Amino acid sequence: MVRARKRFGQNFLTDTTIIDKIVGRFEGCPGEQTIVEIGPGRGALTTGLLNTGARLIALELDRDLIPLLQQQFRKHNNLTLHQTDALRFDFNTLREYAPLRLVGNLPYNVATPLIFKLLDDLSLIQDMHFMLQWEVVARLCARAGDKHYGQLSVMVQNLCESTILLEVPPESFNPAPKVNSGVIQLTPRAEPLISKALQEQFSTVVKTSFSQRRKTLRNNLKGVLTEAQIKESGIEPGLRAEVLTIEQFAALTDTLAQHSD
């Protein structure tokens, strides 16, 4: 058996109850859906996903796991296996199979950059079901004023509805991580909360506002918006980014757009 590798951040899911609950999200549409599994590992989820009858495309970085997966699932003709890094994979190559349903147990060091990458490919995606460290789950679902609220919260919630499905204890994995995990569902919105034309400016405002969490908008947005322009947006310049709603970030973005013309 291939051991979990620390450099890949591997913690293999072994709890059959959790596995069944995740797989249950994909049952009911045999042959009519394409599932992309990111990091199948030893195939804990893969068996159940294949048994739904869906087309399954699996992306695995660890080359030592590829022969194991090929052997284990050799009789399944609905599996396509790629030895690749999901962070570098071009999801547009799967456009013919869209809408895609994504699932995966994501290592901590991969989760945030991968989710940001996938935000650029939402036109291809129906939904995403990811196992993540609980801290990341909390950040994805946090609202203004929450200690976990930040750039990731705002950027993801602008484009997706986020729902916590499960909390998962360390003993559900081998080896057991030191923290709890959770399963989250991200569903792309039909339309983002911020108009598509302003997405780039919105990203600038949000990223800059959170650049130094302990500093106020007055300080962080210097060079992007003046104090007067922040007030023009209906927002007190002495506030910190962590207390602003997405709608307030939208107001700042509108002001930036008006003064950029």
CATH for 50: 3.40.50.150
Kindly give the interhelix angle for 108-118 and 134-141, rounded to the nearest 10 degrees. 30
The pLDDT of residue 107: 86
Residue 30 has pLDDT above 80, yes or no: no
Helix (H) or strand (E) segment spanning residue 162 = strand 160-168
Let me know whether 13 and 141 are in one domain: yes
Q: Are residues 18 and 83 in the same domain?
A: yes
Q: What is the pLDDT of residues 112-170, one digit of tens each?
A: 999 999 999 999 999 999 999 999 999 999 999 999 999 999 999 999 999 999 999 99
Closest CA to 240 of 160, 171, 146, 118: 146
Q: Which residues sit opposite 83 in a β-bridge? A: 60
DSSP letters of 205-243?
Answer: HHHHHTSSTTS-HHHHTTTTS-HHHHHHTT--TTS-GGG
Determine the 3-state secondary structure of 79 from DSSP. strand
Report the share of the chain in percent with pLDDT over 70. Answer: 95
CATH number for the domain harbouring residue 207: 1.10.8.100
Identify whether 1 is part of a domain. no
Do residues 51 and 76 make contact, with C-beta atoms less than 8 angstroms apart? no
Closest among 130, 180, 167 to 152, alpha carbons compared: 130
Give the phi and the psi of residue 218 in degrees, each rounded to 5. -55, -45
pLDDT digits (tens, 9 = 90+) for 163-209: 999 999 999 998 888 899 999 999 999 999 999 999 999 999 999 99
177 and 200 inside one domain: no
Considering the domain architecture, whether residues 59 and 89 belong to the same structural domain is answered as yes
Among residues 138, 155, 188, the one where a domain terminates is 188
- Provide Rg for the chain, Cα atoms: 20
Q: Which domain, by its residues, includes 120?
A: 6-188
Among 134, 166, 188, the domain-final residue is 188
Looking at the domain assignment, is residue 203 inside a domain?
Answer: yes
Rama region for 212: left / alpha / beta (φ>0; ψ in -120 to 50; rest): beta
